[in-house]
Homo-oligomer: A and B are copies of this chain.
Amino acid sequence: MKTRQFVLASRPSGFPSRDNFRIEDIVLNELKNNEILLKSCFISVDPYMRGRMNDVKSYAASFEVDQPIKGGVVAKVVESKDKSFQAGDSVFGMLPWAEYSIEKAENLRKVDTNIVSPGYYLGILGMPGLTAYFGIMDIGKPKSGETVVISGAAGAVGIVAGQIAKTQGARVVGITGSDDKCKLLKEKFGFDEALNYKDSKNLRKAISEVCPKGVDVYYDNVGGEITDTVIANLNFHARIALCGQISLYNSTRVPMGPAILPMLLTRSVKLQGFIVSNYADRFGEAFAQLTLWVKDGTLKYTETIIDGFDNLPDAFLGLFAGKNQGKMLVKI
């Protein structure tokens, strides 16, 4: 059977471009025992994948040049040579950016698309939702009345992190890059305040104005100047859940900034860098809680869905320009 897939054509230096990706026509092998033939429905594009385009050892293995890009995919079973799956089942897997693919049954997980939209398993009920859950519940641990600031607040992780912080009784402030997103955060997702950083001439002052009692928990998705500024507003015993640094992922030289350690020292700040896989043994607990909260309406979500397989690179590149509200997905 024929299909198309995206491979890494070349490694980007700095901001990636369409040229770093290439579509290839390939022929899939015959299905073997315990293998499943899958048709991709929704393919996830995520900021952390930028790191995998580099040839640098990190927590996620590098993509190889001329080899397929892989990421989170919700797919439908076309044909199954494993008794656990049947044609028509919806599954989640870490699969190639391809229209069709073959995967071993053991690497797939069935998902129930009757409860929620299939894309939710790539967002609020997937890696971004779990990431938000552990960053808030295990690291930030906001107490009632404390101020929680979320950067990249309108992204796939940020909107979940903010809403989870609200369940703990915190006052939640989102930092994002447009007035539309500010409106969304406050009106749909219940953030107490939202700040458009592109609109602030004096970001430090703007943050101190929306956080008159200082910042107790900072959930950082972006890094760079925004983070330096939030750190200047931290309270004694503040916590930083260090989740992403999207503003720096395309830097070609080591980014410079003010030394933050003197501030973290004098305020007895706790900072924890993390990736969701650190919490693999607690995924069950988190998934159950998130599912409950989605079902009972406590947590809301939104997706930016781009249509068409060919648009995968553009959807990915759009993440770095803030083109998504909530989870960025490509519908195949």
A224-B268 contact given A59-B236, A236-B59, CB 8 Å threshold: no
Binding site for B on A (CB under 8 A): 51, 58-59, 220, 223-224, 227, 236-237, 242-245, 248, 254-262, 264-275, 278
Which secondary structure dominates where chain A touches chain B?
Answer: mixed
A245's nearest neighbour on chain B, judged by CB, is B262
Chain B residues with CB below 8 A from A236, complex form: 59
Residues of B within 8 A of A256 (CB): 256-259
- How far, in whole Å, are A242 and B271 apart by their CA atoms in the complex? 11
Residue pair A271, B268 in contact (C-beta under 8 Å)? no
Assembly CA distance A256 to B257 (angstroms):
5
Q: Given known contacts A255-B259, A270-B271, what 7 new A-B pairs fall within 8 Å (CB)?
A: A227-B261, A242-B261, A243-B265, A245-B265, A256-B258, A261-B273, A270-B272
A262 to B: closest C-beta gap in Å: 5
> What are the 8 A-B residue pairs with the smallest beta carbon separation, nearest first?
A265-B273, A255-B259, A271-B271, A264-B273, A254-B258, A269-B273, A245-B262, A58-B266
Is the CB–CB distance between B266 and A259 below 8 Å?
no
Q: Judging by beta carbons under 8 Å apart, are A260 and B260 in contact?
A: yes
Q: How far is the CA of A264 from the CA of B59 in the complex (A)?
A: 12
Q: Which of B257, B269, B270, B273 contacts A267 (CB 8 A)?
A: B273
Could you list 15 examples of A-B contacts with CB < 8 Å? Answer: A59-B268, A220-B261, A223-B259, A237-B278, A244-B265, A245-B261, A248-B259, A256-B258, A257-B258, A260-B260, A266-B273, A268-B274, A269-B271, A270-B271, A271-B271
| Bound CA–CA A262/B257 (angstroms) | 12
A242 touches B257 (CB 8 A): no
- A244's nearest neighbour on chain B, judged by CB, is B265
- The CA of A59 and the CA of B268, in the complex, are separated in Å by 9
A259 nearest CB neighbor, chain B only: B255
- In the complex formed, the residue of B with least CB distance to A272 is B270
What is the distance, in angstroms, from A37's C-beta to the closest C-beta of chain B?
35
Q: How far is the CB of A163 from chain B (nearest CB, A)?
A: 23
